[in-house]
Each structure stands twice: as structure tokens, then as C-alpha cells.
Structure 1
């Protein structure tokens, strides 16, 4: 079945019943950060095998997502006090980087899972934390129904939570909903009757929830980041977070979300760099004027590879450094200045990982030669993935954020894009 069209637009005989996630099952309890990294490396080897084919055929990674969940990686940031691993944010960044170097579409799918868990850590009540963390340990996956497409700003929501005689119901339509087709919970931004901002968690299998795979971007093709519709969906009152009440409270949810985005780009860069090296070693021919017998001896290629390696390693180190800072800041009450330091550190990482993802995926063709452009190799997927994902939030505003902070001491705005 083609995955490039919404299921609802397919002929009945072709469409069949849309696939939905398997029921949650208790997951493996990962002991520590090192085990998390080891498991990520093991999964990456498996996920890498058909990554290009999944991209080419636009085939959603259902079985791979189930394997990821069973591994326990989705629960690594659940605090130890609630039965989780309590893994650090440097480890989280490395896990995303490892998985995205194998398949960045697949690796991106859990981004919202961890992003909303960070918000729960910031503003959730004890009852909400106990419920949500227990569900994650029981194998629940969390998606996110993202911004609306028909509003002037991404922060504007017409999706509404209403009180009725039958309880709370949610209605609206959202897009950019990475991971929601695989999710057991789909949180979304909504407003109440007074226009106040909320985060509302709907069950993915609740009546009135429709997830449509109409994501048609040229990159990150199998993230299923399309439409979610809510038609008077019943909502558990416990799973409503009144974000409006915390708009002035400093937190780390935004920087953590951005750390994940930077790690995804670092993984894309790694994948492009590795394929560039492999192609030069095994397929590229030396330039006619070089007098060489093999491309690996070309000093101009040495220069390009050296420049890429340096930029990649620099971006990685700044990424890990940002993760370590988040680990330190998460261990104490978060002040406005601490939240700002986190945003600035992660912005620096985001700039560098964006630049190397685009540079590596472009330079690949310069050093590998015209043969690398043949469709059979599908090496353009690296640039397509880098170009699409690095647009998640504009890097030009990262430069502004850092410059205004360093020059004028202006603290960055607090939201999921900072």
C-alpha cells in the first residue's frame, strides 16, 4: 500500500484497516546509562539494514518501533524514584544520535515521547507523574499532535477542551504529529473555555481520534508526521496539564526538546559521513589529472574528509557538553538564569549539528563523484533528511538567541523551540 497518500483517500479495497499500535507490554528495565547505549548500538545495527529501502518505499517502521519499545529505551528518562533508569541527558542525546545514524526517520519518531516527558518532569503533579511514568514502564508510547496548519502562528490553538455532561472532550485538527501513528497516548496543545493553554493527553485508541499518514515531505519520509483529528474525544482529567499556570516558571523542557533535535541532526551527519567514506573507498575513481590509481589517495579528498571529520567531532562534543550541562542543572531547582544557560548551550549545539548535517550530506557527492548520484544508491536521502529536519526551527534565530544573551544579557524566551 502506498504510504504517500492518506489512508482515507485510498480505494476501499486498497486501504483496508489502518494499522494501529500493538497493546502495550511491560518493557525491559535498563539498569544504567551504559546499558542504554549498548542497546542503542544493537538496535542501530538492525535498523540500518533496510533504512534506505524504507525511505525509498515510504514504508513505516512498525516492527522496528515495537523492537525499540521492548528494549526499554523509551523509559530511560523515567526517574529512578519511579522505577526507571534515570539516565542522563547526555546519554539521551547519544541514544538519539546512534539511532539516527542508522535511520534518522525511525530515530526521530520518539522525539515527542521524551519532549513531553520533560514537560511532565517540569510541571506535572505527583499523581500525573506516578500515572505517566508507570504507563511508560508498562510499554506505552507517547506521540504528539503538533501545531495547526491554518493559524498565523504555531503557538495559536483552535483545538478546544470542553466540559460536557459526559466529562471532558477534545476537538480539533493538528499537524506535524511525529510518532502519533505509533502512539498509545497523543498529547496536544489546546485551550479551555477561557482561552487558557493546556496540554491534553488523548489515548490513541479513543473514539474520535483519527491519525492520517499524509506526511509528504521529501525528507524524513517515514516519520508519519501528518494529521491528527480529534472529534469530541473523551479525556481523562488527570491527563490535562495546565501549561498556562506555569508560563512564568523556569524549566528545562524546551532545552531538552532542542537537545533531541540537535542529536537527530548529528546522527544524520554521521550517516552521510560514513556513506561518503564507504563510497570513496569502494566505488569512487581517481580524477584523471591526479596520476593516482585509487581515489583514497587523492590529497584533495583527504582535505575534504579532514574538514568534515573536524566539524563533525566539534559538533558532537558541543552536543554532549550541552547534555552534561542539562544533567547538572536538572539536579537542582531551575532558575531563570539556569534555564537560559541551558537554552544557549543547546542552541550552540543546534547550530553546529545543523551545519555539519547539511555540509556532510552535500560534500558526500563532491568527493564520491557523479556515480554517487545514481538512484540505486539512494544517497540523496541524507541531504533530503538533513534539509527537512534542520528546518524544525530556524537556526538564524539560534544565532540571534545566543548573540542577544551574550551581548545584552537577554534571557531566551521559554518554549519548546528554545
Structure 2
């Protein structure tokens, strides 16, 4: 699709200009640094504040912003590819970026305005956004308890949230609540406001340093330009949040392949039933590693295919073509659901079967190979995979629209 200058004025979106080599040269050295302390952070639950800061300084938070606005001009396919590369280095650090990148995408989809220009400048300055959508205490989006009420020329936010991924690393928190007229609104509040209480109470056995705990908001102020209807959020928001998780899962499959190969090479003895006394020459053990590599390959291929459909949605939105955008959203819904089935299955299989090539030494806490399964299982539990194949089949056989009706949630949730 060709987008003219007149059309692109509708949003901040522009056709991608970044090359893969440029992005790799800029970010992969930082990813390598992040990988160096992964095991220690995992063993001791050390929060990666320094590693997130390195990535901010490298400009990961502005990777999608067009060059003319001060960013790197990456496509969505490139962005999610980078996120998978980061997840290979550290799945926790990669997941921390999910909410920030989604809010950047939201502002790029918005109409140019002084308030949105201000957000672009904040992103360029390295300011970081954490999440605040999921209601605490088993609340639902259909019954929001969080309230955003007008107070003179500002708003005040009151409520409680959980799954606030990335919040402890953030400058801003993206909070969803109910306005005084009953509509759903988004409010961006400062993380260091005295009314914000962030609690490190995430008890999941995986993704343990993502700061995914709870938050309380007591009369937290938000100003003009930082509060807007949730229905105005970008149309592929749900797909974006889901694809960010799939990126992390794809990175995990590569990480377990990497660590599985290293562990097999390091094995010094084999079982009596083995085909070769040298584990690294045992055809059956090599077959296990080969199968893990196929899982990593399928996850990567599915991620590229599904994320590329989001670039088409973005292009249709930038062009103001409502009919084409609706068709692209349908295609993205199908591709994202298919990718979810493929990538989750690949990640769970890879992180489990790799142990068949390793023996008892593979379960040593010194190497923490179990972290890959724990992280993959945790991420896979965020969305109802069990429903996806049925929804796809119903669309293929009966033509039932697979796109969920999430208008009340701002055209899509965070996938929690």
C-alpha cells in the first residue's frame, strides 16, 4: 500500500524505513549485555533496573517512531523480531517492554495534536510507560471499579489494579477506568505521584522480575491531554499485546535451544542403553535437539507471519481506508490466533522435551533450564489458548466473525 503525504497527516504513522542490519547493529550488543546477568537475576530475583535503563538509552522505546519524528522507523514485524531477540537474552526484560511499546503505538495511531506531540517528545526523552488495566479483586472490564473523575481542570484516578507489568520501571502508568458518564477512559498518571502505591506481590512461578504485581491509586491526578476515551485506542491493540507475548515465547524457544545444545555438549557420560558412549554423538539425543530446533523455527516463522499482518492494519489506518482496515483487522485476528496456537505449543514442547537429551544433570539449579518452561508456561497462561482453535474453526466452517466485540474495552484488551 502506498501512503501519500496527505494521507499520513491523519496520524504519526509512516511507512517503515529501518533496515534489519541497522537495528541489529544498534540493539544486539545491548541484548548481549542483558543476557550476561540473566542467571543471577533469575536465581536471586534481582529486578533488572539497570538493564531496562540500557535499553532506554539505546532507544528501544522509540524504535517504532518514524525517523522524521526522531525515532528509528521500524516496522511492527521488525519491532516484534527485536523483542524476540531480547527475550532470547532475558524473557523477563522483554516482557517489561510490552505496555510501553503498546502505548507508543497507540499515540502513533492518534491524530496529530499538541498533546500527542508532547507524548512523542516524552518517548524521545526515554520516558517509560507501565501498565494499569486489569482490575484487582477479580474485577472485570464489564464492571470497572476504578474511577476517573473530573476535578476542575484535571482528573483524579481512584482504584486498584493487578498485573501491572513494567510498573516499577516506569515514569508513567497507563490506567483504564470508568468516567463519570459511565464511559471507559484511559488516564496516564505519573508513577512517582504520592497517590500511587506499587506492590511487589507477583507470586507466579515464572516471569518473576517483570514487576507484575498490584497497584493502588488514591486521588492520583491526570491532566489535559493525558486522559482520553478508551474507544479511541488503536484498533489492533489487542493483537499488539498478544503479539508482544508471542514474541517473548518465540525468544524463549531459541533460548532453550541454545542452552540445550550447550548442555548436551557438556555431558560427559551416557546411559548403558545409549547408541554412543559420547552423548554429543548419540543419534537419539541429536534427534531431540533437532526437534527443539524445529519448534524454534516454527515459532519464529509464525511470529513473522502474524506480525506482518499488523503492519498492513497500520497502513490501512494511516491511509484512512476504513473498509480495508476492517478487512485487515479480520486477517490479523486470524493470523494472531493461529500464531498463538503454533507458538505456545512450540514453546511448551521445546522447554519440556529438551530435558530428554540431557539426563539428570539437566535439572541442576546451577543452569536453571527450568526457567524456560516456567516463563513459557506463565506467558501461555495469560490468554485462553483453549478457545482459539474453536473460534478459528467456526470462522472457517461457518463464517462466524472471529474478531471479539471489545469496543467497550477500547477495541481490545491487554491480553491478560
Q: Aligned partners of 1:119, 1:404: CA distance in 2, in Å?
A: 30
Query: Residues 55-204 of structure 1: matches in 2 within 5 Å?
Result: 55-123=42-110, 126-154=113-141, 156-165=143-152, 167-204=154-191
Residue in structure 2 matching 1:273, options 242, 257, 264: 257
C-alpha distance in 2 between matches for 1:151 and 1:127:
37
2 CA distance for matches of 1:112 and 1:404? 31
Q: Which residue of 1 aligns with 2:305?
A: 321
Do the aligned partners of residues 411 and 360 (structure 1) sit closer, same or farther apart at CA in structure 2, a change above 3 Å counting? closer
Between the aligned partners of 2:221 and 2:139, the Cα distance in structure 1 is 28
8 Å Cα contact 2:196-2:218 kept in structure 1: yes
Post-superposition CA distance 1:136-182 (Å, at most 9, x none): 00110111113012235355421111112473111111110010111
Pick aligned residue for 2:194 from 195, 207, 222: 207
In 2: Cα distance, 1:95 partner to 1:228 partner: 29
Name the CA distance, whole Å, in 2 between partners of 1:79 and 1:256. Answer: 18
- Alpha-carbon distance, 1:354 to partner: 0.9
Match of residue 338 from structure 2: 348
1:14 paired residue number: none
In the other structure, the counterpart of 1:369 is 359
Does residue 416 (structure 1) correspond to residue 400 (structure 2)? The answer is no
Q: Aligned runs of 1:228-377 on 2, under 5 Å?
A: 228-244=215-231, 246=232, 251-283=235-267, 285-333=269-317, 335-377=325-367
For residue 403 of structure 1, the aligned residue among 393, 404, 410 is: 393
TM-score, normalising length: structure 1: 0.87
Q: C-alpha displacement at 1:352, in angstroms?
A: 1.4
Residue 124 (structure 1) shift: 5.5
What SS does structure 2 have at the residue aligned with 1:84?
Answer: coil
Cα separation, partners in 2 of 1:276 and 1:284, compared to 1, 3 Å:
farther
**Per the alignment, do residues 254 and 105 of structure 1 end up closer, same or farther by CA in structure 2, a change over 3 Å counting?**
same
Q: More displaced, 328-337 or 359-368?
A: 328-337
- Name the CA distance, whole Å, in 1 between partners of 2:19 and 2:274: 51
User: Secondary structure of 1:359's match?
Assistant: helix
Structure 2, unmatched stretches of 5+, are 1-16, 407-411
C-alpha deviations, 1:62-83, integer Å up to 9, x for none? 1111111000011011233422
Q: CA–CA distance in 1 between the matches of 2:388 and 2:119?
A: 32
| CA-to-aligned-CA distance 1:18-75 (integer Å, 9 cap, x gap) | xxxxxxxxxxxx9654322333321221111111110111100111111110000110
Going from structure 1 to structure 2, the CA distance change for 1:284 and 1:408 (only over 3 Å counts) comes to: farther
Output the CA distance in 2 between the equivalents of 1:121 and 1:345: 23
Contact 1:31/1:85 (8 A) holds in 2: yes
Instruction: Note if contact 2:18-2:75 (Cα within 8 Å) is conserved in structure 1.
Output: no
Q: Structure 2: how far apart are the matches of 1:190 and 1:43?
A: 36
Note if contact 1:142-1:184 (Cα within 8 Å) is conserved in structure 2.
yes
Report the secondary structure of 1:143's partner residue: strand
Name the CA distance, whole Å, in 1 between partners of 2:394 and 2:252. Answer: 29
Aligned equivalent of 2:8 = none
> In 1, Cα distance between the equivalents of 2:268 and 2:360?
9
Q: Distance in 1 between matches of 2:77 and 2:236?
A: 14
Whether the aligned pair in 1 keeps the contact of 2:18 and 2:74 (CA below 8 Å) is no
Q: TM-score, normalised by structure 2?
A: 0.87
Partner of 2:129, secondary structure, is coil
What is the CA distance between 1:86 and its match in structure 2?
Answer: 2.2
Helix, strand or coil for the counterpart of 1:210?
strand
Q: Deviations over 1:90-122 (max 9, x none)?
A: 111111111111110011101000112223334
Over 3 Å counting, the alpha-carbon distance change for 1:359 and 1:400 in structure 2 is same
SS of residue paired to 1:211: strand
CA RMSD, 1 decimal: 2.0
Once the two structures are superposed, what CA deviation does each residue of 1:220-254 show, in whole Å capped at 9, x if it has no partner? 1100111111110111121112024x48xx82222
Query: What residue in structure 1 maps to residue 6 of structure 2?
Result: none
Cα deviations by residue, 1:280-333 (Å, 9 ceiling, x for unpaired)? 111263221225221122121222222222222122112112222222332223
CA distance in 2 between partners of 1:117 and 1:399 (Å): 31
Distance of 2:248 and 2:141 partners within structure 1:
22
Q: Name the SS of the counterpart of 2:387 in structure 1.
A: helix
Give the distance between the partners of 2:172 and 2:414, measured in 1 at CA. Answer: 22
Give the Cα separation in 2 of the matches to 1:208 and 1:59: 26
